[in-house]
Amino acid sequence: MAIRIALVGMGKIARDQHLPAIAADPDFELVATVSPHHAGVDGIPHLPDLETLLTEGPALDAVALCTPPQVRHALAMTAIGHGVHLFLEKPPGATLGEVVALETAADAAGVTLFASWHSRFAAGVAPARDWLARREIRSVRITWREDVRVWHPGQAWIWEAGGFGVFDPGINALSIATAILPRRLLLTEALLEFPANREAPIAAILGLRDTAGTPVAMDLDWRQTGPQSWDIEVDTDAGRLTLSEGGAVLALPDGSTRQPDGEYPAMYAHFASLVRDRASDVDVDPLRLVADAFLRGRRKIVEAFDA
């Protein structure tokens, strides 16, 4: 029997990624959409809010929350209270405390909680992790530069407190790094650049190291035009490993491979498996590193930015 799922939040990511992945997966049936601001899908019930969905809408087994992180915790707690399985878009919450509370509540209610990190499901990530497990890692360089006007047009929430700013894409890089590197990462320093008219950073330079002291440098910027940069370079005793295009392309010393995009289909397959097993998958390491950057980072005010 297919898992009856509703999408909550019908912005760009829901339409570009979630809807096609659900439609292509026989383990799921889209039974409703929810948004007070955006239209739904032809032929599918559309509700104005989650409470109305849960009390007056069609029967369902799961919801995928694609809302801004600032409102995610209250919605997730409502769903858990109704015994509904949860798929959380990244980042899973606005704070570490919220995510820990959700994990505890989901466990007590016996429902699945999947805090998704879509970049971990990029084609090159798993083989990169396997290759690095057999190497001595000497240094890591992460460059994640993109044009916010292209990827987040008109999204005011992302510039507000709790909206993450440049760490919204930057956390994707951290989700890959924490998946492929064998030891835990620790933040040592950070410089965060805040536009004079914004409450979230537009750029950041991070210095990290792993627990063995291996240096990891990270460069984030939302002002890049032209070609976009989503690259991780790992220097090892056997040469350099490079993940580019957000993890889709893996280059090893003896050649490179590229696989088609399959992040969201792979995530929904994983979510279906978790629901069947009544298991959860919640990893806060990428969010922890972002929180540490805000805790320890120096703040620099730069020129105002208007999208």
| Overall average pLDDT of the 171-176 stretch | 98
Q: What is the percent of the chain where pLDDT is above 90?
A: 91
Beta-carbon contacts of residue 42 (< 8 Å; ≥ 6 apart): none
Which tens digit of pLDDT belongs to each residue from 275-293?
Answer: 999 999 999 999 999 999 9
Q: What is the pLDDT of residue 37?
A: 86
| Overall average pLDDT of the 188-212 stretch | 98
- Starting at the earlier edge strand, list the strands of the sheet with 185-195: 255-258, 249-252, 239-244, 229-236, 137-145, 215-221, 203-210, 185-195, 298-302
User: Where do runs of H (alpha helix) occur along 57-166?
Assistant: 72-81, 96-109, 125-132, 148-151
Distance CA 168, CA 149 (A): 14
Q: What is the pLDDT of residue 76?
A: 97
Q: What is the mean pLDDT of the chain?
A: 95
Whether residue 261 is predicted with pLDDT greater than 90 in this model: the reply is: no
Whether residue 260 is predicted with pLDDT greater than 70 in this model: the reply is: no
Q: What is the pLDDT of residue 50?
A: 95
Report pTM. 0.94
The CATH H-level (homologous superfamily) assignment of domain 119-259+291-302 is Dihydrodipicolinate Reductase; domain 2 (3.30.360.10)
Which tens digit of pLDDT belongs to each residue from 1-40?
Answer: 899 999 999 988 999 999 999 999 999 999 999 998 888 8
Banded pLDDT at 307 (limits 50, 70, 90): confident
Which tens digit of pLDDT belongs to each residue from 214-237?
Answer: 999 999 999 999 999 999 999 999
Q: What is the pLDDT of residue 264?
A: 97
Distance CA 173, CA 185 (A): 13
Whether residue 256 is predicted with pLDDT greater than 80 in this model: the reply is: no
Distance CA 198, CA 247 (A): 30
Tell the CATH topology of 3-115. Answer: Rossmann fold (3.40.50)
Tell me, yes or no, if 12 is annotated catalytic: no
The one catalytic residue in 90, 120, 145, 288 is: 90
Distance CA 126, CA 22 (A): 23
Whether residue 257 is predicted with pLDDT greater than 80 in this model: the reply is: no
Which tens digit of pLDDT belongs to each residue from 80-135?
Answer: 999 999 999 999 999 999 999 999 999 999 999 999 999 999 999 999 999 999 99
Whether residue 159 is predicted with pLDDT greater than 80 in this model: the reply is: yes
Residue ranges per structural domain of the chain: 3-115, 119-259+291-302
